[in-house]
Amino acid sequence: MNAKPFLDTNIVVYAFGSGDPRCARAEQLLAAGGTVSVQVLGEFVNVSKRKLGREWQEIIAALAVIRALLGSPVAITARTHETAVALARRRNFAFYDAQIVASAIEARCDTVLSEDMQDGAKVGGVTIRNPFPAA
């Protein structure tokens, strides 16, 4: 298994944010390394542009930092999609959450860090952890 965790989009978004108590923790997680998929990068771009109103130059610079820290993202393949559909159906996950878990399974990660899924859930050898414990 891959000891580096799979980082969900929310971790990456918070790492480039400010004014939220989760930002500092997310920066630490990103700096420690991990794995992301093309989906995570795409969602990061979408949130950065549409919800946060960032300029393209800032988004592109952030993507360069992410790739420098984490390396190449995991591709989303037909197999990833099929696994995600099966997980969404069997586990009642939202589809894009299932695709995150499917990508983590394919990358052989043992942990997915996300605040959007059930903390402690185990799926296909992957444990979901919320890195932002409630205060």
**Is residue 118 a part of any domain in this protein?**
yes
**Is residue 47 a part of any domain in this protein?**
yes
**Is residue 88 a part of any domain in this protein?**
yes
Structurally, the chain folds into a number of domains equal to: 1
Q: In 26-62, which positions are buried (b, 16+ CB within 10 angstroms) versus exposed (e)?
A: beebbeeebbbbebbbebbbebbeeeeebeeeebeeb
**Is residue 15 a part of any domain in this protein?**
yes
Are 111 and 5 in contact by the 8 Å Cβ rule? The answer is yes
Q: What is the mean pLDDT of residues 94-117?
A: 96
Per-residue model confidence (pLDDT) at position 3: 80
**Is residue 61 a part of any domain in this protein?**
yes
pLDDT over 90 at 133, yes or no: no
**Is residue 134 a part of any domain in this protein?**
no
In this structure, what CATH number is given to the domain that contains residue 31?
Answer: 3.40.50.1010
Per-residue model confidence (pLDDT) at position 1: 67
**Is residue 21 a part of any domain in this protein?**
yes
**pTM (global) more than 0.85:** yes
Mean pLDDT over the full length of the chain: 95
Q: What is the mean pLDDT of residues 82-88?
A: 97
Phi, psi of 109 (to 5 degrees): -80, 150
- Print the domain residue range for 62: 6-129
**Is residue 135 a part of any domain in this protein?**
no
What is the C-alpha to C-alpha distance for residues 123 and 71, in angstroms, rounded to an integer? 25
pLDDT over 60 at 14, yes or no: yes
What is the C-alpha to C-alpha distance for residues 26 and 68, in angstroms, rounded to an integer? 16
